[in-house]
Amino acid sequence: MHNPLVSIVMPCHKAEKTIQRSVEGVLNQTYSNWELLLIVDGQHKELEAMVSSLARQEPRIRLLVSQKNRGVTRSRNIAIRLAKGEWLAFCDADDYWLEHKLTTQLSVAQEQKANLVCSAFCFYYPHNQKLDLIHTHSTITYNTMLHTNAIPMSTAMVQVDKNQRHYIPQLPAHLIHEDYAFWLTLFQKREIQVAYTEEATAHLLQAAGSRSANKWLGAKSHAYILATYGSVSRFKLAGLMVSYAYNASKKRILGRLFAFS
């Protein structure tokens, strides 16, 4: 049976409080043929010491340290360029994979002849340690993605194009959701067949006050990405932003009630 190498991309920046748990989620995978590219973004002595210790204990961890703070996009792109695997998977340094993630997703990819797999996930609220199960869309196409980012980065795994690597676009520094730009441009560049699993494969940390939790910034970034990388007209953009607002509210409102209950 073919057991492809999976390259896992994990950028780290000021992640001293969460990195241990995130790496443990990778180490606990039931699928063993993987490499973890840990990219330390900028000079952080405590973080470097932690990940260096982890790398010494596990030969499948490849440690990359950048003396300059390059940002999450450039850090991920460095790892994408250096990855050796047939598949790329992503896990943020404050998220956590459930142990069956790679095994389940590789099996589903083979069954459905998919070259991109993603899944449901749980928002994790550290202040009360509660989990909120979130589903995106069971069928994901380019049109789906124009309406909402239905592919959570830390649940996703994509097959590497043998002819050309695909990199994450660099957004203006004040914007977020570079992963959304990555998926939109990927759909335009390649024939993408997505497989989605209803079973959650990851816990995504929800930290109060984070940039990703800023709804106005998220909407502004989404509009910029659609206009720049989705190549949509102003008229269509207005309709898509209404759809974005609806999907964002639907995904968040129950989670917010649950989180603070």
Asked which of 126-135, 167-176, 248-257 is least confident by mean pLDDT, the reply is 248-257
Token pair, residue 85, equals 């695997």
Q: Which amino acid is at 229?
A: Y
254 vs 10, residue with greater confidence: 10
Mean of pLDDT over the chain: 92
Chain segment 61-103, per-residue pLDDT in tens: 999 998 889 999 999 999 999 999 999 999 999 999 999 999 9
**pLDDT tens per residue across span 92-147:** 999 999 999 999 999 999 999 999 999 999 999 988 889 999 999 999 999 999 99
Q: At what angle do helices 215-229 and 234-259 cross, to 10 degrees?
A: 150
Residue 214 Cα distances to 44, 60, 176, angstroms: 26, 36, 10
Higher pLDDT, 215 or 90: 90
Compare 244 and 40 and report the one with higher pLDDT. 40
In a 13 Å sphere around the CA of 7, the CA atoms on its Cβ side amount to: 22
Helix (H) or strand (E) holding 223: helix 215-229
State the Cα–Cα distance between residues 250 and 148, nearest whole angstrom: 11
Integer Cα distance of 117 and 52 in angstroms = 30
In DSSP terms, which residues pair with 167 in a beta bridge? none
CA distance 223 to 217: 10
Asked if the model's pLDDT at residue 214 lies above 90, the reply is no
Measured between alpha carbons, how far is 152 from 201 in angstroms, rounded to an integer? 11
Name the DSSP class of 192. Answer: -
- For tokens 């459905």, the residue is 112
Of 92, 37, 24, the C-alpha closest to 64 is 37
Please, which pLDDT band fits residue 251 given cuts at 50, 70 and 90? low
224 burial type by CB count under 10 A (0-12 exposed, 13-18 middle, 19+ buried): middle
Integer Cα distance of 22 and 39 in angstroms = 13
CB 115 within 8 A of CB 186: no
Burial bucket for residue 193 (CB in 10 Å: 0-12, 13-18, 19+): middle
pLDDT at 167 (0 to 100): 98
Q: What is the mean pLDDT of residues 43-48?
A: 91
Mean pLDDT calculated for residue range 18-28: 98
Confidence tier at 258 by pLDDT (50, 70, 90): very low
Sheet holding 96-97, edge to edge: 96-97, 202-205, 121-125, 130-134
Whether pLDDT at 52 is above 70:
yes
Between 136 and 250, where is the model more confident?
136
pLDDT for res 221: 95
Contact present, 53 and 23 (Cβ < 8 Å): no
Quick one: pLDDT at residue 259? 44
What the chain holds in terms of domains, given with CATH numbers, is 6-259 (3.90.550.10)
Single pTM value for the model: 0.93
